[in-house]
Protein backbone atom coordinates (compact mmCIF):
# COMPACT_ATOMS: atom_id res chain seq x y z
CA UNK A 1 0.00 0.00 0.00
CA UNK A 2 1.36 3.40 -0.96
CA UNK A 3 0.73 6.67 0.83
CA UNK A 4 -0.33 9.84 -0.97
CA UNK A 5 0.13 13.43 0.26
CA UNK A 6 -2.06 14.86 3.00
CA UNK A 7 -5.28 16.48 1.84
CA UNK A 8 -7.97 18.60 3.45
CA UNK A 9 -11.62 19.21 2.64
CA UNK A 10 -12.92 22.59 3.84
CA UNK A 11 -16.38 22.24 5.36
CA UNK A 12 -17.84 25.28 7.11
CA UNK A 13 -15.56 25.98 10.09
CA UNK A 14 -13.60 22.74 9.71
CA UNK A 15 -10.53 21.55 7.86
CA UNK A 16 -11.34 17.86 7.45
CA UNK A 17 -8.17 15.87 6.89
CA UNK A 18 -8.28 12.81 4.65
CA UNK A 19 -5.67 10.31 3.52
CA UNK A 20 -5.83 7.83 0.65
CA UNK A 21 -3.84 4.61 0.95
CA UNK A 22 -3.60 1.84 -1.62
CA UNK A 23 -5.28 1.13 -4.94
CA UNK A 24 -8.50 -0.66 -5.78
CA UNK A 25 -12.10 -0.60 -4.60
CA UNK A 26 -12.59 2.49 -2.41
CA UNK A 27 -13.35 1.94 1.28
CA UNK A 28 -14.13 4.98 3.41
CA UNK A 29 -13.06 4.73 7.07
CA UNK A 30 -14.93 7.37 9.07
CA UNK A 31 -13.30 8.85 12.16
CA UNK A 32 -9.89 10.21 13.03
CA UNK A 33 -7.15 9.79 10.43
CA UNK A 34 -4.56 9.89 13.21
CA UNK A 35 -6.33 7.06 15.04
CA UNK A 36 -7.49 4.71 12.30
CA UNK A 37 -4.71 4.92 9.73
CA UNK A 38 -2.01 3.50 12.06
CA UNK A 39 -4.35 0.74 13.23
CA UNK A 40 -5.33 -0.25 9.69
CA UNK A 41 -1.64 -0.32 8.76
CA UNK A 42 -1.56 -3.71 10.54
CA UNK A 43 -3.81 -5.09 7.78
CA UNK A 44 -2.94 -6.17 4.23
CA UNK A 45 -5.80 -5.20 1.94
CA UNK A 46 -4.81 -5.75 -1.70
CA UNK A 47 -7.23 -4.31 -4.25
CA UNK A 48 -8.82 -2.06 -1.61
CA UNK A 49 -8.18 1.68 -1.47
CA UNK A 50 -8.58 2.94 2.09
CA UNK A 51 -9.83 6.52 2.43
CA UNK A 52 -9.39 7.78 6.00
CA UNK A 53 -11.51 10.82 6.84
CA UNK A 54 -11.66 13.10 9.88
CA UNK A 55 -15.31 13.58 10.65
CA UNK A 56 -15.66 17.04 12.12
CA UNK A 57 -15.39 15.91 15.75
CA UNK A 58 -11.76 15.15 14.90
CA UNK A 59 -11.16 18.04 12.48
CA UNK A 60 -9.35 21.24 13.38
CA UNK A 61 -11.88 24.11 13.53
CA UNK A 62 -10.88 27.40 11.93
CA UNK A 63 -13.43 29.38 13.96
CA UNK A 64 -15.35 28.97 17.23
CA UNK A 65 -17.90 26.15 17.11
CA UNK A 66 -21.00 25.13 19.02
CA UNK A 67 -23.02 21.95 19.48
CA UNK A 68 -25.20 22.72 16.45
CA UNK A 69 -22.12 22.42 14.23
CA UNK A 70 -21.80 18.73 15.15
CA UNK A 71 -24.91 17.00 13.91
CA UNK A 72 -25.39 13.67 12.19
CA UNK A 73 -26.93 15.44 9.20
CA UNK A 74 -23.98 17.83 8.83
CA UNK A 75 -21.46 15.01 9.05
CA UNK A 76 -23.46 12.98 6.53
CA UNK A 77 -23.25 15.98 4.20
CA UNK A 78 -19.48 16.20 4.80
CA UNK A 79 -19.08 12.56 3.79
CA UNK A 80 -21.09 13.08 0.62
CA UNK A 81 -19.04 16.20 -0.17
CA UNK A 82 -15.87 14.11 0.08
CA UNK A 83 -17.27 11.49 -2.31
CA UNK A 84 -18.12 14.22 -4.81
CA UNK A 85 -14.72 15.85 -4.31
CA UNK A 86 -12.99 12.54 -5.07
CA UNK A 87 -15.32 11.92 -8.03
CA UNK A 88 -16.24 8.44 -6.83
CA UNK A 89 -19.54 7.05 -8.15
CA UNK A 90 -19.73 4.54 -5.27
CA UNK A 91 -17.68 3.37 -2.33
CA UNK A 92 -17.94 1.05 0.64
CA UNK A 93 -18.23 2.66 4.08
CA UNK A 94 -16.68 1.46 7.36
CA UNK A 95 -17.64 2.79 10.77
CA UNK A 96 -16.23 1.65 14.11
CA UNK A 97 -17.90 2.31 17.47
CA UNK A 98 -19.93 5.53 17.32
CA UNK A 99 -18.66 6.18 13.82
CA UNK A 100 -20.68 3.14 12.72
CA UNK A 101 -23.84 5.10 13.50
CA UNK A 102 -22.55 7.81 11.15
CA UNK A 103 -21.88 5.16 8.50
CA UNK A 104 -25.45 3.93 8.86
CA UNK A 105 -26.80 7.48 8.60
CA UNK A 106 -24.83 8.04 5.41
CA UNK A 107 -26.00 4.73 3.94
CA UNK A 108 -29.60 5.72 4.68
CA UNK A 109 -29.21 9.11 3.03
CA UNK A 110 -27.20 7.97 0.00
CA UNK A 111 -27.90 4.27 -0.61
CA UNK A 112 -27.11 4.47 -4.32
CA UNK A 113 -23.55 5.51 -3.53
CA UNK A 114 -22.81 2.78 -0.95
CA UNK A 115 -21.63 -0.56 -2.30
CA UNK A 116 -21.10 -2.17 1.09
CA UNK A 117 -21.71 -1.13 4.69
CA UNK A 118 -19.23 -2.27 7.33
CA UNK A 119 -20.16 -1.87 10.99
CA UNK A 120 -17.69 -2.68 13.76
CA UNK A 121 -18.23 -2.80 17.51
CA UNK A 122 -21.52 -0.96 17.75
CA UNK A 123 -25.00 -1.54 19.14
CA UNK A 124 -28.07 -0.27 17.26
CA UNK A 125 -27.93 2.92 19.36
CA UNK A 126 -26.32 4.33 22.51
CA UNK A 127 -29.59 4.85 24.36
CA UNK A 128 -29.98 4.49 28.14
CA UNK A 129 -31.78 1.18 27.57
CA UNK A 130 -28.83 -0.12 25.55
CA UNK A 131 -26.36 0.84 28.25
CA UNK A 132 -28.55 -0.72 30.94
CA UNK A 133 -28.47 -3.97 28.96
CA UNK A 134 -24.70 -3.58 28.56
CA UNK A 135 -24.30 -3.19 32.33
CA UNK A 136 -26.32 -6.34 32.92
CA UNK A 137 -24.23 -8.25 30.37
CA UNK A 138 -21.05 -6.97 32.04
CA UNK A 139 -21.99 -7.85 35.60
CA UNK A 140 -23.19 -11.36 34.71
CA UNK A 141 -20.47 -12.28 32.20
CA UNK A 142 -17.18 -10.50 32.96
CA UNK A 143 -14.70 -12.13 35.33
CA UNK A 144 -14.24 -10.81 38.85
CA UNK A 145 -10.66 -9.76 38.06
CA UNK A 146 -11.80 -7.82 35.00
CA UNK A 147 -14.52 -6.06 36.98
CA UNK A 148 -12.14 -5.22 39.79
CA UNK A 149 -9.60 -3.71 37.38
CA UNK A 150 -12.34 -1.65 35.75
CA UNK A 151 -13.47 -0.26 39.12
CA UNK A 152 -9.89 0.71 39.99
CA UNK A 153 -9.44 2.50 36.67
CA UNK A 154 -12.78 4.30 36.76
CA UNK A 155 -11.95 5.67 40.21
CA UNK A 156 -9.19 7.69 38.51
CA UNK A 157 -11.44 9.18 35.82
CA UNK A 158 -12.65 12.25 37.79
CA UNK A 159 -9.06 13.37 38.37
CA UNK A 160 -8.27 12.86 34.67
CA UNK A 161 -11.22 15.00 33.61
CA UNK A 162 -10.42 17.71 36.11
CA UNK A 163 -6.81 17.90 34.93
CA UNK A 164 -7.64 17.98 31.20
CA UNK A 165 -11.37 18.25 30.42
CA UNK A 166 -10.77 18.76 26.68
CA UNK A 167 -9.52 15.17 26.46
CA UNK A 168 -12.81 13.72 27.71
CA UNK A 169 -13.12 11.09 24.97
CA UNK A 170 -9.57 9.84 25.45
CA UNK A 171 -9.90 9.72 29.24
CA UNK A 172 -13.18 7.79 29.16
CA UNK A 173 -11.92 5.27 26.62
CA UNK A 174 -8.69 4.67 28.51
CA UNK A 175 -10.31 4.17 31.91
CA UNK A 176 -13.02 1.96 30.36
CA UNK A 177 -10.29 -0.37 29.09
CA UNK A 178 -11.43 -3.46 31.00
CA UNK A 179 -14.73 -3.26 29.12
CA UNK A 180 -13.02 -2.52 25.79
CA UNK A 181 -10.12 -4.96 25.43
CA UNK A 182 -9.63 -8.72 25.45
CA UNK A 183 -6.49 -8.03 27.50
CA UNK A 184 -8.26 -6.02 30.17
CA UNK A 185 -4.97 -4.60 31.49
CA UNK A 186 -4.08 -3.05 28.13
CA UNK A 187 -3.50 0.72 28.33
CA UNK A 188 -4.66 2.31 25.08
CA UNK A 189 -3.26 5.78 25.80
CA UNK A 190 -0.58 5.50 23.09
CA UNK A 191 -3.25 4.88 20.44
CA UNK A 192 -4.66 8.34 21.12
CA UNK A 193 -1.35 10.13 20.59
CA UNK A 194 -1.90 13.19 18.35
CA UNK A 195 -5.62 12.38 17.96
CA UNK A 196 -7.64 15.59 18.07
CA UNK A 197 -11.12 15.48 19.60
CA UNK A 198 -13.40 18.49 19.82
CA UNK A 199 -15.00 18.14 23.25
CA UNK A 200 -18.11 20.01 22.10
CA UNK A 201 -18.50 17.60 19.20
CA UNK A 202 -18.02 14.58 21.43
CA UNK A 203 -20.74 15.84 23.77
CA UNK A 204 -23.10 16.64 20.90
CA UNK A 205 -22.77 13.22 19.27
CA UNK A 206 -21.89 10.62 21.92
CA UNK A 207 -23.73 12.21 24.82
CA UNK A 208 -26.80 13.40 22.92
CA UNK A 209 -27.55 12.43 19.32
CA UNK A 210 -26.25 8.86 19.50
CA UNK A 211 -28.57 8.31 22.47
CA UNK A 212 -31.61 8.83 20.26
CA UNK A 213 -33.51 5.85 18.80
CA UNK A 214 -31.51 3.64 16.47
CA UNK A 215 -31.06 4.40 12.79
CA UNK A 216 -33.10 1.24 12.23
CA UNK A 217 -35.86 1.94 14.75
CA UNK A 218 -38.28 3.27 12.14
CA UNK A 219 -38.11 0.14 10.02
CA UNK A 220 -35.77 1.54 7.37
CA UNK A 221 -34.46 -1.16 5.04
CA UNK A 222 -30.77 -1.22 4.14
CA UNK A 223 -30.37 -2.63 0.64
CA UNK A 224 -26.57 -2.88 0.45
CA UNK A 225 -24.58 -5.88 1.78
CA UNK A 226 -23.79 -5.23 5.44
CA UNK A 227 -21.13 -6.80 7.67
CA UNK A 228 -21.01 -6.47 11.46
CA UNK A 229 -17.68 -7.33 13.12
CA UNK A 230 -17.78 -7.88 16.87
CA UNK A 231 -15.33 -8.73 19.63
CA UNK A 232 -16.48 -11.39 22.07
CA UNK A 233 -14.98 -9.41 24.98
CA UNK A 234 -16.46 -6.04 24.05
CA UNK A 235 -18.42 -5.12 27.15
CA UNK A 236 -19.12 -1.59 25.91
CA UNK A 237 -22.46 -2.88 24.68
CA UNK A 238 -24.80 -5.81 25.30
CA UNK A 239 -24.06 -9.06 23.50
CA UNK A 240 -24.31 -9.21 19.71
CA UNK A 241 -27.87 -10.48 20.21
CA UNK A 242 -28.92 -6.83 20.56
CA UNK A 243 -29.03 -6.76 16.75
CA UNK A 244 -31.51 -9.62 16.42
CA UNK A 245 -34.67 -7.47 16.27
CA UNK A 246 -33.17 -5.42 13.43
CA UNK A 247 -31.48 -7.96 11.19
CA UNK A 248 -34.62 -8.37 9.10
CA UNK A 249 -34.18 -4.75 7.95
CA UNK A 250 -30.95 -5.59 6.12
CA UNK A 251 -31.31 -7.28 2.73
CA UNK A 252 -27.90 -8.95 3.07
CA UNK A 253 -26.65 -9.23 6.67
CA UNK A 254 -23.42 -10.95 7.72
CA UNK A 255 -21.67 -10.94 11.07
CA UNK A 256 -18.39 -12.20 12.47
CA UNK A 257 -17.47 -12.62 16.14
CA UNK A 258 -13.77 -12.41 17.00
CA UNK A 259 -13.17 -14.61 20.00
CA UNK A 260 -9.99 -12.94 21.31
CA UNK A 261 -11.04 -9.33 20.81
CA UNK A 262 -12.85 -6.59 22.62
CA UNK A 263 -13.88 -3.28 21.10
CA UNK A 264 -11.20 -3.10 18.39
CA UNK A 265 -10.85 -6.46 16.59
CA UNK A 266 -8.91 -5.01 13.65
CA UNK A 267 -6.14 -4.13 16.15
CA UNK A 268 -6.48 -7.06 18.56
CA UNK A 269 -6.77 -9.81 15.93
CA UNK A 270 -5.44 -8.20 12.75
CA UNK A 271 -4.79 -11.43 10.83
CA UNK A 272 -8.23 -12.90 11.55
CA UNK A 273 -9.96 -9.59 10.88
CA UNK A 274 -7.99 -9.09 7.67
CA UNK A 275 -9.00 -12.50 6.33
CA UNK A 276 -12.65 -12.11 7.34
CA UNK A 277 -12.89 -8.71 5.68
CA UNK A 278 -11.29 -9.93 2.44
CA UNK A 279 -13.47 -13.04 2.39
CA UNK A 280 -16.57 -10.91 2.75
CA UNK A 281 -15.48 -8.47 0.04
CA UNK A 282 -14.89 -11.39 -2.31
CA UNK A 283 -18.15 -13.19 -1.51
Alpha helices in 125-193 (DSSP H): 128-141, 144-154, 157-163, 168-175
pLDDT digits (tens, 9 = 90+) for 30-53: 999 999 999 999 999 999 999 999
Spell out the residues 6+ positions from residue 184 whose beta carbon is closer than 8 angstroms to its own: 145, 146, 149, 150, 177, 178, 233
Statement to judge: residues 117 and 152 lie in one domain: no
Please indicate, yes or no, whether residues 175 and 271 belong to a single structural domain of this protein: no
Which residue range forms the structural domain that includes residue 265? 7-126+200-282
Instruction: Tell whether 86 and 36 lie within a shared domain.
Output: yes
Q: What's the pLDDT at 79?
A: 99
In angstroms, rounded to a whole number, what is the distance separating the alpha carbons of residues 254 and 141?
25
Q: Are residues 111 and 152 in the same domain?
A: no
- 60 domain-assigned: yes
Over range 257-276, report the average pLDDT: 99
CATH number at residue 97: 3.40.50.1820
Last residue of a domain, one of 198, 224, 243: 198
pLDDT at 212: 85
Do both 111 and 216 map to the same domain? Answer: yes
Which run of H or of E encompasses 8?
strand 7-11
Residue ending a domain, among 198, 231, 249, is: 198
Residues 147 and 92 in one domain: no
- Picking from 83-92, 107-116, 168-177, 205-214, which range would have the lowest pLDDT averaged per residue? 205-214
Q: By C-alpha distance, which of 199, 210, 201, 213 is closest to 236?
A: 210
Both 102 and 235 in one domain: the answer is: yes
Q: What angle do CA 137, 31, 197 make, to 5 degrees?
A: 90
Q: For residue range 159-196, list pLDDT tens digits in order.
A: 999 999 989 999 999 999 999 999 999 999 999 999 99
Q: Are residues 141 and 183 in the same domain?
A: yes
User: Is the dihedral angle over the CA atoms 111, 283, 250, 262 positive or is it negative?
Assistant: negative
Identify the pLDDT of residue 216. 82
Amino acid sequence: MSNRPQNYLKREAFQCHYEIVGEGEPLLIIGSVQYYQPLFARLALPNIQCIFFDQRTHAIPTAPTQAADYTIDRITADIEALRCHLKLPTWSVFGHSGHALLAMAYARAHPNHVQRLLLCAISPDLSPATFAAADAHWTTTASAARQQHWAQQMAQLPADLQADPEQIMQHICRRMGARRWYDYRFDEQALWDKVHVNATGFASLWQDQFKQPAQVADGHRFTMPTWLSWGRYDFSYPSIDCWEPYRIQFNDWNQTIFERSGHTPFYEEPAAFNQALLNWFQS
